[in-house]
Amino acid sequence: MSEDMPGIAARTWAQVADRFPNYDLVTPETPSFVCLTGECPVHCCKRFSVSLGERERDRLAAVHGIAPGEFLEMVDGEPLAMPLAQPFLLARREGRCVLLRDDLLCGVHQGRPDACRLYPHFVLFFERETARPNHADTEGMRAAMHAALTGEFDAMPYVPLLVRHRECPGFVGPAYGERDWRALFAETARLQYADGAPGWPE
C-alpha cells in the first residue's frame, strides 16, 4: 500500500524530532487547539515577543485606525527596525503585549500580526533524502505544499511537517480529523511563508 501524507510526515518526524525538542508533530489524530485565553497558565501574549513586517504593520494600523507608534517598539521616536524580514516588534509593557486587553483577550484580533494568527502551529520543510531543514527555497516549499495536499508525492521536493509548540497547553479539543488537519496545514504554511503572495495552495 502506498504511503499517505500523515505516514510520510510521521516517518520524517522520527528522523528529526530530536533536533526540535520544543515541538510535536500535528497529525489528524492530534487533539485540536482551543485557546484557553484568560484561563491559560502560559499565555503567549505575555510570554513571547512578536515580530512583524511592513505589510502586517500597515494592516494592523488600517484595520484598527491606530498609528504604528502606538503598538511598535520605538527608539528615539522611530520604530525599532532590525535587519530581518520581519523587522518590527510589537511593543511590550509590564511584561505583556501592549495590545493585550485587561480581560486577557487580544485588543486587535482582526488585524493581529501573522505570528499571532499562526501560533501555536508552524510548518517546517525538510529535504527528502537528507532530512535537512529548508526555509529559503520559497518556490520549492510552495511546490511541496501543493504536492502534499494533492497526493502527488513523487513531485514533492521537500517534506512539509505541521508541528505545534509544546508550551501551549491549548490542545484539549477533539482530534482534528483529516479534513480540518489538511485545512490547518495549508493555512499555516500560507501564513508563515507566502507573505501575501498569490498562488499558495489553499
- Burial 132-149, CB ≥16 within 10 A → b, else e: eebeeeeeebbbbbbbbb
Binding mask 11-50 toward ligand SF4 (x if CB under 6 A, else -) reads ------------------------xxx--x-xxxx----x
Which CB, 90 or 161, lies closer to ligand SF4?
90
Least Å from the CB of residue 152 to ligand SF4? 33
* Residues 72-131 contacting ligand SF4, CB under 6 A: 90, 97, 99-100, 106, 108, 112, 116, 119-120
Instruction: Return d(Cα 64, Cα 67) in angstroms, integer.
Output: 9
Which CB, 141 or 168, lies closer to ligand SF4?
168
Find out whether 126 and 12 touch, Cβ atoms under 8 Å.
yes
Which CB, 87 or 133, lies closer to ligand SF4?
87
Closest CA to 88 of 53, 114, 115, 48: 53
Q: Hey, what amino acid is at 193?
A: Y
Q: Which three cell numbers stand for residue 106?
A: 487580544
Q: At 77, phi and psi to the nearest 5?
A: 80, 0
Interaction of residue 53 with ligand SF4, rule CB under 6 A? no
List interacting residues with ligand SF4 (CB under 6 A).
35-37, 40, 42-45, 50, 90, 97, 99-100, 106, 108, 112, 116, 119-120, 168-170
